[in-house]
Structure 1
Amino acid sequence: MNITFLGGTETVTGSKYLVETGKTRVLVDCGLFQGFKWLRERNWQPLPLDFASLDAVLLTHAHLDHSGYLPVLYHQGFRGPVYTHHATRDLCRILLADSGHLQEEDARFYAKHRIGRHRSPAPLYDRRTAEDCMALFRTVDFGEDVSIADIRFHLQPAGHILGAASIILEAEGRRVGFSGDVGRPDDIFMQPPQPLPELDLLLLESTYGNRRHPDTDPGRSWLMRSTARRRRAGRC
């Protein structure tokens, strides 16, 4: 099994991992690069990937740094399945369309005010393309085993947001875990992330890897912030 990092390296956005066996090629996550301009410009660079040979995309969750490049794949001809949890599909239906709409608005604004070096600014993709790519989605329940040729995988809850999952992938005698974004064990809205099984390799998201969350009661912290906002608004 070969794993190629196509994003999420030297930065925490643009997550894309190409997993290849002797028979199968899948992309785990398909995210946009976000943030600094030099990062966003990477969205326009062609991937070193033949989309016709890609068998499937597996999504951990809906945030755009993990899903927002899917309309680009669709625009460039990818028509394979996109496997994810049903809540992730429902969130992507909102987020991807909104992303395309905002890119169209930005392109019109740049053209009107002649901002940037392009005479005719264009969006990376438009709302229609984002909406059309939703036809590729195939939903998977947590714990459901799915096979794609010689690759097997399942999703397990990761907390974080609705539908967020870690992906446990098995092929060629190896078991690899893709953490996705992992929620906190004491979140007041989400269930805690499910512990990972024994793995041969773990690819772990590390956005907050250089700091510790405060050791406080999250319910009390949320209540204090809510009360402070209400006081500022003169409602209590």
Structure 2
Amino acid sequence: IHNARKLIGDGALGKISLAKAMWNWHFDVPLRDDPPSGKLDWERFQGPAPHRPLDPKRFWWWRGFWDYSGGNMTDQGTHLMDVVQWLTGNSSPKSAICGGCIANAKRGEVPDVFTAVFEYQDMMATWTLNYASAYEFDWSITLQGEQATMFIDRRGYRVVKDPGGSAQPWTASPPKDIVAEMPDKDSGELHQQNFLDCIKSRKEPNCTVETAAAAVAGPHMANLAYRQGRKITA
């Protein structure tokens, strides 16, 4: 990711107009109703959330309920929008809209299929999650620039040069020759090590509290847009 950021900073993509974050996973595991083994302090588990009778599925799959989490939107979106904003030099978005549905997790409350659209100062971004399909399985980020497009996933990054607006008829398939690429070598281990080192040294980690807050701001705005059925502005 650091190498990808340097490449972007050096102008390899040109002006970025659109970022697309995506996560696909065919998640069809039924919500559990069996009581947890051992002792469970249900009152403590609920914390300041509204009091509800003991419900095992709320314990096992707490992230599927608005009382305890921001759902899949903030769960995975925080990770991906952090990368999008860091790579493009943006902080939290100016506005957000969102639409979604519950395709498989019918006994939960949060959508398991959605698309959020974020407006930044000079670009747009989308965050799409589909937990009802394994097509293009796992996460990915696409950054579309005037000069080239960058694809990022667990394999690393790849850059494809843009042929230009008049280079091909709009019906033709544009060339997809890879002009730059780098495989993932550490799978996040260096990032985790930085956090552990900072616990010992008391230094500021690579991802500061302010950076993390900005990363989750967009997903929070998108959740509000989804639940209220309107555009949310910062």
Point out the structure with the larger strand share: 2
TM-score normalised by the chain length of structure 2:
0.25
Between 1 and 2, higher relative CO (CA 8 Å, sep ≥ 6) is seen in 2
